[in-house]
């Protein structure tokens, strides 16, 4: 990972951002001490959640056609019943 100074970031911010957008990760230093890391943004929020272990992707596709729709029950009634149980 390349290192840049705070001064370089301040003076050449457009170039630094181009480097990061191109996929390069940079450590920013202030008075020689690392203070920040600039990394390219990952994919979607879902991909980031998977990468961080917050969610697990499905192992296989599921067939939901076997689930039968309940007829004659209004969604608003179901929600009202659920909220009444709080």
Residue ranges and CATH numbers for the domains of the chain are 1-56 (3.40.1620.10)
pLDDT value at 85 more than 70: no
pLDDT value at 1 more than 70: yes
pLDDT tens for each residue of 4-51? 999 999 999 999 999 999 989 999 999 999 999 998 887 778 887 887
**Rg from Cα positions in the chain:** 25
pLDDT tens for each residue of 55-80? 998 888 888 888 888 788 888 988 98
Q: Are 2 and 22 in contact (CB under 8 A)?
A: no
- Tell me, what's the pLDDT at 86? 64
């Amino acid at each position: 990972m390349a290192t840049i100074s705070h001064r370089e970031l301040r003076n050449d911010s457009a170039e630094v951002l181009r480097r990061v957008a191109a996929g390069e990760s940079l450590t920013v230093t202030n008075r020689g001490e690392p203070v920040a890391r600039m990394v390219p943004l990952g994919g979607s929020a879902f991909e980031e959640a998977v990468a961080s272990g917050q969610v697990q992707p499905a192992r296989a596709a599921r067939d939901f056609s076997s689930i039968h729709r309940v007829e004659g029950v209004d969604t608003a009634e179901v929600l009202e019943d659920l909220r009444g149980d709080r």
